[in-house]
Amino acid sequence: MLTAHLLPGLLTGFGLIVAIGAQNAWVLRQGLARDHVAVIVTICALADLLLVVIGTAGLGALIGDHPAILTGMKWLGAAYLAWFGIRSLWSARHAGALGGGQPPSRSRGSVITTTLALTFLNPHVYLDTVLMLGNIANQHGVTGRWWFAAGAGIASIAWFTTLGFGARALSGPLSRPRTWQVLDTLIGLVMLTLAVVLLRS
């Protein structure tokens, strides 16, 4: 089971998740800020697990048969990414708001809302987890597909944990306001670029 199903699921999961995206940029930023990292990592990992299970159970075909669902998510996701990008650029423009060399701490509710939005308003998440991983998983047979899904789930947990808590080790060297200006600028540009790419996809 390990080499036939679990390992391919692990490698496929890593291949899809380890990429520059809105969700990863958010996890990295909050990890560097040491701001509600455990909450963010838990939400991202559990969301991925849920979507992989949904895809493995065969519901990916249902979404594939209703492209209007993904179209609606595309416009909502692009609008949210554009707003998030503009807000990040605005934060980078105002260095004085970075009191103490770190960005201001967000409320728990705000962090949860942002994490859920960046996760579920991105149609690429559904394409990667529900459709792609789900379809690949179902090629491994009735039993093997769940081992494959378990491998993909382990990849998500490992990645978000490493990204979120690993970033905390760099929070000391990266605690200067100028660094946060650069980081917020890069995140803003990434978000705006992803919004354009999303609309053109």
Per residue in 117-153, pLDDT tens?
988 887 778 777 887 787 778 778 778 888 989 999 9
In this predicted structure, what is the pLDDT of residue 19? Answer: 64
| pLDDT tens digits, 153-189 | 999 999 999 989 988 776 665 556 676 677 778 878 8
Residue 11 has pLDDT above 90, yes or no: no
> pTM for the complete prediction?
0.73
* Cβ neighbours, 10 Å, residue 19: 10
DSSP state of 35: S
More confident: 121 or 16: 121
How many CA atoms, within 13 angstroms, populate the side-chain half-sphere of residue 132? Answer: 15
Residue 89: the pLDDT is: 83
Q: Any idea which residue has 């990295």 for tokens?
A: 28
Locus of tokens 């609606």 = 72
Residues in contact with 74: Cβ distance below 8 Å, sequence separation at least 6, in sequence order: 123, 198, 199, 201
Look at residues 33, 32, 45 and name the one whose alpha carbon lies nearest to residue 166. 32
Q: Could you tell me if 7 and 151 are in contact, meaning their C-beta atoms sit under 8 angstroms apart? A: yes
From the CA atom positions of the chain, what is the Rg in Å? 18
Question: What are the φ/ψ torsions at residue 140 (nearest 5 degrees)?
Answer: -100, 15
21-71 pLDDT per residue, tens: 778 888 988 888 888 999 999 999 999 999 999 888 876 556 656 667 667
